[in-house]
Structure 1
Amino acid sequence: MIKEATLVFGYNDYSREIIKQITGDNMPVYVYTMDMELLEKAEADSCNVALFDLSDDWDEIAHRFDTGNLRLFCTLQDDAENIFLTISLRAAFKDVFIVALARNQESARKLRMAGADKTMPILQTTANIITERLEKPIVMRAVHDLLYGRSEVMIKQLVVPEDSFFVGKRVEELDDIKMHNVIIFCVADSSHRTYFAVTKKGRHHQIAANDIIIIIGYNNDIEAFKLFLEGQEKR
Structure 2
Amino acid sequence: MKKNGDAKDVVVVGTGMVGLEVARQLCERGESVRVVDSDEEKVEKARLLGYEAERINLGDDEELMNLGIGERVDVFFSLLEDDASNVFLVISARALAPDMPIVSISETEETVQRLYAAGATKVIDPYQISGYKIYELMHHPLIAETLERTVFGNDVDLEIAEIPVTAGSFLDGVYLDQLLLENEYDLVVLGVVDRYYGDHLIFAADPKRHCIDVDDVLVVIGPRAELEKLRRDLKQEKK
TM-score normalized with structure 2 length: 0.73
* Equivalent in 168, 174, 177 of residue 176 of structure 2: 174
Q: Deviations over 1:97-123 (max 9, x none)?
A: 211112232111011122212212215
Q: Which residue of 2 aligns with 1:78?
A: 82
Q: Which residue of 1 aligns with 2:158?
A: 154
Q: Which residue of 2 aligns with 1:11?
A: 15
* Contact kept? 1:155, 1:214, Cα under 8 Å: no
Deviates most, 105-114 or 140-149: 140-149
Unaligned runs of at least 5 residues, structure 1 = none
Q: For 1:187 and 1:26, how far apart are their aligned partners in 2?
A: 32
Q: Which residue of 1 aligns with 2:111?
A: 107
SS state at 2:140 partner:
helix
Higher relative contact order (CA 8 A, sep 6+): 1
Between Structure 1 and Structure 2, how many residues are aligned?
A: 221
- What amino acid maps onto 2:169 in structure 1? F
* Contact kept? 2:104, 2:124, Cα under 8 Å: yes
SS state at 2:236 partner:
coil
Q: For 1:93 and 1:19, how far apart are their aligned partners in 2?
A: 21
Q: Which residue of 2 aligns with 1:197?
A: 204
Change (3 A) 1:85 1:105: same
- What amino acid maps onto 1:83 in structure 2? V
1:128 aligned onto 2:138: yes
Q: For 1:227 and 1:55, how far apart are their aligned partners in 2?
A: 44
SS state at 2:139 partner:
helix
Q: Which residue of 2 aligns with 1:52?
A: 56
Q: Which residue of 1 aligns with 2:123?
A: 119
Unaligned runs of at least 5 residues, structure 2 = none
Q: Which residue of 1 aligns with 2:232?
A: 227
Runs of 4+ in structure 1 displaced over 6 angstroms?
Answer: none
Q: Which residue of 1 aligns with 2:102?
A: 98
Q: For 1:164 and 1:84, how far apart are their aligned partners in 2?
A: 46
Identity between Structure 1 and Structure 2 (%): 25
Deviates most, 34-43 or 105-114: 34-43
Superposed displacement of residue 48, structure 1: 1.0
Superposed displacement of residue 8, structure 1: 0.8
TM-score normalized with structure 1 length: 0.74
SS state at 1:155 partner:
strand
